[in-house]
Amino acid sequence: MPATLEAIQAKKTQLIRKMTAASMFVAPFSATLPTTLTTGASADLTALPAGYVDVGLVTKDDGYTLGREVETSETTSHGYVDPTRRDILKVTNTVGFSCQETSKQVLDMYRGVDLSSTTGTAVTAEVAFNEPLSPSSRYYRALLIGRDGIGASTIYIAMLYPRAMISEFGEQTWNDENEITYPFTLTATPDSTAGYSVRHLFGGLGWKALMVDMGWPSVA
């Protein structure tokens, strides 16, 4: 009996995800890496290791922009109009966002200065620091956690960058109409100890409930 497209297709609207809330957490490169995203029967978020700080509010329209650039090498052959072989030479993973909060952590990253030991002056609480004349690459632990749904429908999607560096700084504008923002682009680099440059993590009660729909075996 002839099949119809409707009979053989498998479209599942419940698998469409949207990150309705998210936060970027950063820590010094010396900080411990998280090993799990969720814990317990209720699949709650696991507490972060010491040293991880939320960079705070980011611009609404941009949110977090995840980039993945792949560079390939192509081999062409006589008699073929299409390349007969493609080899991946480089994969670059990035995450871009614009911080809205002026804080110690954000200034540390945006200005490329280690502010961990800075304090405000007595009486006035003034803070001052110099940008380095010869800046060097600085590496951070970075963990981006997004959430879709609430309660029993909660789904967490996270990306862990064990050795991320700030590869690009966006322009900053001072005017009376818009807030001051601090635009960054973080680029993933390999961590030789961890053995990866990006780790993807998924969890939450909503995720657990959809395992079969997504193609995995059910988990008791």
Instruction: Determine the pLDDT at residue 96.
Output: 97
Assess if residue 177 is contained within a domain: yes
Assess if residue 13 is contained within a domain: yes
Assess if residue 220 is contained within a domain: no
Distance CA 83, CA 98 (A): 40
Assess if residue 219 is contained within a domain: no
Give this prediction's pTM.
Answer: 0.93
Assess if residue 183 is contained within a domain: yes
Beta-bridged to residue 38, according to DSSP, are 45
Assess if residue 38 is contained within a domain: yes
Which domain, by its residues, includes 30?
5-214
Distance CA 195, CA 176 (A): 47
Mean pLDDT calculated for residue range 80-99:
97
Compute CA distances 145 → 23, 55, 111, 119, 124, whole Å.
Answer: 6, 12, 24, 30, 37
Assess if residue 179 is contained within a domain: yes
| Residue positions counted in the chain | 220
What are the tokens at 65? 């922009």
CB 149 within 8 A of CB 206: yes
Residue 82: is its pLDDT beyond 90?
yes
Residue with tokens 């936060």: 23
pLDDT more than 90, % of the chain: 92
Assess if residue 196 is contained within a domain: yes
Domain count along the chain: 1
**Alpha helices (runs of H) in the chain, residue ranges in sequence order:** 5-8, 104-111, 205-209, 211-214
Query: Residue 135 contacts by C-beta under 8 Å, 6 or more apart in sequence?
Result: 112
Residue 220: is its pLDDT beyond 80?
no
Query: Sorting pLDDT into bands at 50, 70 and 90, what band is 76?
Result: very high
Q: Work out the mean pLDDT of the chain and round it to a whole number.
A: 95
Beta-bridged to residue 90, according to DSSP, are 71
